[in-house]
Amino acid sequence: MPIASEAFLQQSGRAMTGTSKVTAKDVNVYYGDKHALKAVSLDIRANEVTALIGPSGCGKSTFLRCLNRMNDLIEGARVTGLITLDGDDIYDYSLDVVQLRARIGMVFQKPNPFPKSIFDNVAYGPRIHGLAQSSADLEEIVVSSLQRAGLYEEVKDRLSEPGTGLSGGQQQRLCIARAIAVSPEVILMDEPCSALDPIATAKVEELIDELRENYTIVIVTHSMQQAARVSQRTAFFHLGELVEFGDTEQIFTNPQQKLTQGYITGRFG
């Protein structure tokens, strides 16, 4: 359905490439007494893939979860500093967190399809946000989301079967389709390939590259090859601090910091 998907694309406003979409200024996160993220400032540009790398426990996932306020759900978590989306403070009292998460979608480490049919999984977001006026509308959204997640051809004959019955890689692409269906502006991905085999990983990476055209993507990854393959800009975190941030090519070929160099050459981490 090419016409439908084009119409769908036009619904969501897109920023110009190169302008900043999300800006973090001096962000600190505390879990109880633990200072998990220390004074991180970062600019995420529209229609680019920004990779967050670093050893386990370095705060990269914590930072990612600040961006759509998933840290709100954690007991005892406290966030200070300023994070803006298109210039609006996302921690501002007047901003509804539900609206925010509709604009900033998220894909998780472990594929987590709901125990519903494939169709209902993708339709879930549009339904709760009232994005579809009719059932034909909804079907359009579901089909085009599945198409853009590169899953439609594989599942078009079994949309009513449970999403939990798909393979791991298919489940993850279903979760991506589910996130796209809400037409977010930013998609956060928390190690989206860590539970997938190399072939499924390659498919998801290809997908990320295609999605960049329409979305701003932030991806946390443990694989430096993956960061190098899919991202335009890379941020290296260590012990809760942002050590270095720059163009991916520069980070991987000519890192300015000793820590970064040590990490990407595999001397620690």
Nearest to 177 by CA among 210, 225, 130, 135: 210
The Cβ-side half-sphere exposure at 76, using a 13 Å CA radius, reads 6
Alpha helices in the chain (DSSP H): 2-11, 60-67, 97-103, 118-128, 135-148, 152-155, 168-180, 198-211, 224-230, 248-253, 258-264
Minimum CB distance to another protein, residue 102 (Å): 4
CB nearer to another protein: give 36 or 264: 36
Q: Residues binding another protein: what is the number (CB under 8 A)?
A: 27
CB of 71 to another protein, least distance (A): 11
| 99 sits near another protein (criterion: CB under 8 A) | yes
Site membership for another protein, residue 94 (CB under 8 A) = no
Stretch that binds another protein, among 26-34, 102-110, 145-153, 208-216 (CB under 8 A): 102-110
Q: Are 50 and 235 in contact (CB under 8 A)?
A: yes
> From its phi and psi, is residue 129 left (phi > 0), alpha (psi between -120 and 50) or beta?
alpha
Is residue 173 at the binding interface for another protein, with CB under 8 A as the rule?
no
Residue 91 lies near another protein (rule: CB under 8 A)? no
Give the residue with the Cβ less far from another protein, 22 or 224: 22
35, 38, 116, 222: residue in contact with another protein (rule CB under 8 A): 116
Nearer to another protein, 24 or 131 (CB): 131
* 70 forms part of the interface with another protein (CB under 8 A): yes
Of 204, 219, 71, the residue nearest 149 (C-alpha)? 204
Q: Among residues 106 and 251, whose Cβ is nearest to another protein?
A: 106
175 contacts another protein (rule: CB under 8 A): yes
* Residue 178 contacts another protein per CB under 8 A: yes
CA pair distance 39, 50, nearest whole angstrom: 19
Q: Which is nearer to another protein, 175 or 235 (CB)?
A: 175
Say whether residue 125 binds another protein (CB under 8 A): yes
Query: Which tokens is 87 given?
Result: 């210039």
Backbone angles phi, psi at 14, to 5 degrees: -120, 140
Residue 222 in the binding site for another protein (CB under 8 A) = no
Residue 4, classified by CB atoms within 10 Å of its CB into exposed (0-12), middle (13-18) or buried (19+), is: middle
* d(C-alpha 74, C-alpha 168), whole Å: 27
Q: How far is the CB of 163 from another protein (least distance, A)?
A: 11
According to the binding rule CB under 8 A, does residue 124 interact with another protein?
Answer: yes
Per CB under 8 A, 179 contacts another protein: yes
Q: Please name every residue paired with 104 in a beta bridge, in sequence order, or none if there are none.
A: 186
By CB under 8 A, tell whether 68 contacts another protein.
yes
Name the residues that contact another protein, by CB under 8 A.
68, 70, 73, 98-102, 105-108, 110, 112-116, 124-125, 128-129, 164, 175, 178-179, 182
